[in-house]
Chain A
Amino acid sequence: MLSKTTDRLAKIWLWMSALAIILILLSVLGYIFINGIGIMSVSFLLDMPKNNWREGGILPAILGSLIVVFVALAFAAPVGVGTAVYLTEFRKEGLVTRIIRISSDALNAVPSIVFGLFGLSLFVFYLKDYTGGPSLLSAGLTLGFMILPTIIRTSEVAMRGVPYAERMESFGLGASKLQTIKNIVLPGAVPGIATGLILSIGRAVGETAPIIFMVALNPTVPKSLFGSGNTLTTQLYYLAMEGISMKVAFGTALTLMLVILTLNAITRVFKKRLSRNLRRG
């Protein structure tokens, strides 16, 4: 009888733990939402900051975030997907694939501030003449390095999900390896690759520490890749840390939050489509 009571109490505890996690998530989201919604408007998103960020909008930060994410993807998407193709289609499992996988995992584990130190010394000092020093290009490339492992891993999983039989059929019909990759493997892996890319965009747009030494609080619209800029995350850090304007800080936080929520919703649609495809296949 006692064991039945314990069983019931334990189950209540497990349910409570799940409930606690939902409540934690809701309080973080709710807190940012309630504090940010007051200042949120179209003009907040599209106006220039005024009076040292105490008024006006956050357009430069939005543009800066878009640019660094674009640079990061322009580097990491081809390299990451290419690596996945190589690992799944060109190479038998062995020492080479193991080394590539281990280095990708290790890269994934590097703390974000270490990426910051690395980006600072490589792009800002060492390659200064090519990157423009502390520029949006430097920041974007550093983020690109950081999201590369995620893209490699998700693309590889997606390509391995394409049934072996389909490749064999394609070869059987006389298609070459390249034709098979182009017509069978890549199309079949698109939903998985896309999910990985969106996941990486979310990571790149939300990171602060890797780019904090390259991106300053800058009130002007970025003029070129080689110029300095401002992103949502770094702006949020400076506004909150130095107590410049909590109102605008919360508005920036809400903007960032909405971007993350939108990306999250898109991946869920992809995931649903993915599982439907799997069931059909």
Chain B
Amino acid sequence: MKEQFTWEKIVGAVLMLFSVTALVILLLIMLFILDGGLPLFNKVSVFDFLLGDKWMPAKGLFGASQFIIAALLVTFGAVLISVPLGISCAIFLAEIAPPWAKSIVRPAIDLMAGIPSIIYGVFALIVIVNLVRVAFNVASGETILAASIILAIMILPIIISISQDSIESVPKLYKEGSYALGATDWQTIRRVLVPAAGPGIIAGIILAMGRAIGETMAVVLVIGNVEKMPSGLLSPGETLTSAILLEMGEAVVKSTQYNALFCLGLVPFILVLIMSILSSRLITKSKGRFA
């Protein structure tokens, strides 16, 4: 009996070590990204980095604003396209889909979430870029819009899954009340279910935005990668993530350019962490309301 007890303690201690690994890795990531990035601010002010629009490593200019603007444009474009379609599909799955339709659409969405971003990128590189070129009659389809469209497709599964979850967790009572008042299915969906599921749906959208702003591979293949302030959805651009990917190869270790690229990584890192905290709080809150 005594021997068993000691074993239990040893195993418990080992497992505790395992459990803190996630925390340790997270702290190490923060440490190494800050350590790689912060030396930039000995040479360039934070102000010049965030608001400057000239990125010329050879001349010591590291203004990242065009990357930030491009990343935000791409993300908002993606959300704008994805949200109406995603929420409609979530309503479909939660409320009106017969079992056979559910058994086709649900696995399809799971599969969509599992397709690697580089595959979406290769698809977009030819299909979506050409679609944009022909549809808007522009010289090259490699634009912010093309990146938004492929990102919209990639974030659909997140928006659908979380919205479906929150619509399904609205208590039956709400729905029955609405029907008892003589409302149709659609009236019930629009006036009762969607508003009640609102916080959860917004949480899903925030999470999807985080995913979009951090995405690299699909974007870099279709956005044109021009280091200039984008003038609109139909102009080419370069995002924070694609700039890191394209320039890291030529950056000398610990050079100012190397530091600057780590700072470019710091921006989506911080944004994504804030977004994920926000969305998980919203999800807990929205579930708590009905409990």
Determine whether the beta carbon of B276 is less than 8 Å from that of A18.
no
Known: A78-B18, A85-B15, A117-B36. A14 touches B96 (CB 8 A): yes
CB-contacts of B111-156 with A (<8 A): 111-112, 114-123, 125-127, 153, 156
B266 to chain A, nearest CB (A): 8
Q: Which residues of B contact A27 (CB under 8 A)?
A: 123, 127
Query: Which residues of B lie under 8 Å from residue A15 when comparing CB positions?
Result: 92, 96
Q: A residues within 8 A CB of B190?
A: 10
Collect the chain B residues with CB atoms within 8 Å of residue A149's CB. Answer: 22
Tell whether, in the assembled complex, residue A11 and residue B18 are in contact, meaning their CB atoms are under 8 Å apart.
no
Q: In whole angstroms, how far apart are the Cα atoms of A27 and B120 in the complex?
A: 11
Contact residues of A between 115 and 138, Cβ < 8 Å to B: 115-118, 120-122, 125-126
Among B184, B190, B253, chain A packs the most CB atoms within 10 A around the CB of B184
B110 CB-CB contact with A under 8 Å: yes
Chain B, residue nearest A19 (CB): B105
Contact, CB under 8 Å: B35 / A206: no
Is the C-beta of A38 less than 8 angstroms from some C-beta in chain B?
Answer: no
Across the interface, do A148 and B21 meet the contact criterion of CB distance under 8 Å? yes
State A126–B31 Cα separation when bound (angstroms).
13
Residues of A within 8 A of B11 (CB): 178
Is A161 interfacial (CB 8 A cutoff)? no
Asked if A241 and B220 make an inter-chain contact with CB atoms under 8 angstroms apart, the answer reads yes
Give the A-B contact count at a CB cut-off of 8 A: 247
Contact call B114/A260, Cβ cutoff below 8 A? yes
Give which listed residue, B21, B119, B185, B248, contacts A32 with CB less than 8 A. B119
Which of A11, A105, A112, A122 has a CB less than 8 Å from the CB of B280?
A105
Query: CB-CB < 8 A to B85: which residues of A?
Result: 17, 20-21
A208, B101: Cα distance in complex, Å: 34
Asked whether A278 is an interface residue with its Cβ less than 8 Å from the other chain, the reply is: no
> Chain B's nearest CB lies how many Å from the CB of A218?
15
Name which of A27, A199, A241, A249 has the most chain B CB atoms within 10 A of its CB: A241
Q: Does A41 lie at the interface of the complex (its beta carbon under 8 Å from any beta carbon of B)?
A: no
Rounded to whole angstroms, the CA-CA distance of A11 and B118 in the bound complex is 35
Which of A56-64, A183-191, A250-258 binds B? Answer: A250-258
Taking the complex as formed, is B80 at the interface, i.e. its CB lies under 8 A from any CB of chain A?
A: no
Residue numbers in B under 8 Å from A125 (CB-CB): 253
**Residue pair A178, B7 in contact (C-beta under 8 Å):** yes
Task: From B32, B110, B215, B268, give the contact of A264 (CB < 8 A).
Answer: B110
Chain A residues with Cβ under 8 A from B248's Cβ?
A: 117, 120, 213
Range of interface residues on chain B?
Answer: 35 or more
Q: Does A50 contact B (CB under 8 A)?
A: no
Contacts of B110 in A (CB 8 A): 264
B89 on the A face (CB < 8 A): yes
1/0 contact trace for B253-291 toward A, CB 8 Å? 100000001100100110011011100100000000000
Kindly state whether residue A280 has any CB partner on chain B within 8 Å: no
Q: Is there a chain A Cβ closer than 8 Å to B56's Cβ?
A: no
Q: What is the distance, in angstroms, from A281's C-beta to the closest C-beta of chain B?
A: 23
What would 9 more interface pairs be, CB under 8 Å, given A31-B126, A112-B215, A121-B36?
Answer: A17-B89, A18-B92, A79-B21, A109-B210, A111-B265, A114-B33, A176-B4, A260-B116, A268-B107
29 A-B pairs in the complex with CB atoms less than 8 angstroms apart: A6-B186, A18-B89, A18-B101, A18-B105, A28-B123, A31-B127, A86-B15, A106-B277, A109-B275, A109-B276, A111-B216, A111-B272, A113-B241, A114-B29, A114-B265, A118-B33, A149-B22, A177-B8, A206-B114, A206-B119, A207-B116, A207-B117, A208-B117, A208-B216, A233-B217, A237-B121, A256-B119, A257-B119, A261-B111
- Which residue numbers of A lie inside 8 Å of B, CB to CB? 3-4, 6-7, 10-11, 13-15, 17-18, 20-22, 24-25, 27-28, 31-32, 78-79, 82-83, 85-87, 90, 99-100, 103-118, 120-122, 125-126, 145, 148-149, 152, 176-178, 199, 202-203, 205-209, 212-213, 233, 236-237, 240-241, 249-250, 253, 256-257, 260-261, 263-264, 268
